[in-house]
Amino acid sequence: MARAVSLADELYDKLKAEIISGTIAPGTRLPSQKSIATTQEVSRTVVREAVARLEAQGFARSRQGSGVFVTEGARYRAFQVTREELSELGEIVRLLEMRLAIETEMAGLAAARRDQADVDAMRAAMRQMAEVCEDPAAYASADAQFHMAIAQATKNPYFARFIDFLGIRLVPPRNLYLRDQPGEAHDHYVAKVRAEHEAILAAIVRMDITGARDAARHHMTESLSRHSELGAAMTTG
């Protein structure tokens, strides 16, 4: 079974690469599963799984009685951050590196453009984090709401769309970072992250653009450092 999954991954990656490169053009009907199985020397089951993944990711669409076609604009769907990827610590670190740059500028724009409703939304998210601090998953969800409120305060819908796309993947649950650490470690983590969030919020409330950028950069740098250190410990442990 493991080999079949591997072959499906390989075929999916190959077909996706051809779609993104334009080798298989938008609107093109994919060859039949039988034809793909023959040319790629794999089973129909492998083809079925690979094509299903293309459809799930928006690269292809099935038309009743006509076959499977490459979607218009499919080549622009290349950027994906999946839940499966974020089960690996290394991928979380890479995402945090990207977020450091994005969230720094996002906080600066939020400080320049925020209104009272935006501030209220950030404060509500902070209260929610405090109420669910014992539940890592619920805390991560509330944390994501805080960052969404900042994105919306930029008044640039692309920031909000990007944060919405990341969703819960935006905030790695602390039980990944802390793993089997005692309750005191979790309490320290919550207090530290809260202080980082409060610094961002305070700067945005003051409409301090430089301060908001600095606070957001510090928050993301600290998160990146925490998970990078964990990765190093797991490698040498």
Tell me the pLDDT of the chain (237 aa) as tens digits.
344 447 888 898 899 888 888 888 888 999 999 999 999 999 999 999 999 988 887 888 999 888 999 988 765 554 454 444 444 556 677 778 888 999 999 999 999 999 999 999 999 999 999 998 888 778 888 888 999 999 999 999 999 988 887 765 556 555 555 556 656 766 787 888 899 999 999 999 999 999 999 999 999 998 888 766 654 544 444
Q: Which residues pair with 60 in a beta bridge?
A: 70
Indicate the length of the chain as a whole number: 237
The CB density around residue 150, as the number of other CB atoms within 10 Å, is 28
The closest alpha carbon to 82, from 168, 174, 173, 176, belongs to 168
CA 99 – CA 162 distance, rounded (Å): 11
What are the chain's domains?
2-77 (1.10.10.10), 85-236 (1.20.120.530)
Q: Degrees (nearest 5) of the Cα angle 77, 26, 167?
A: 15
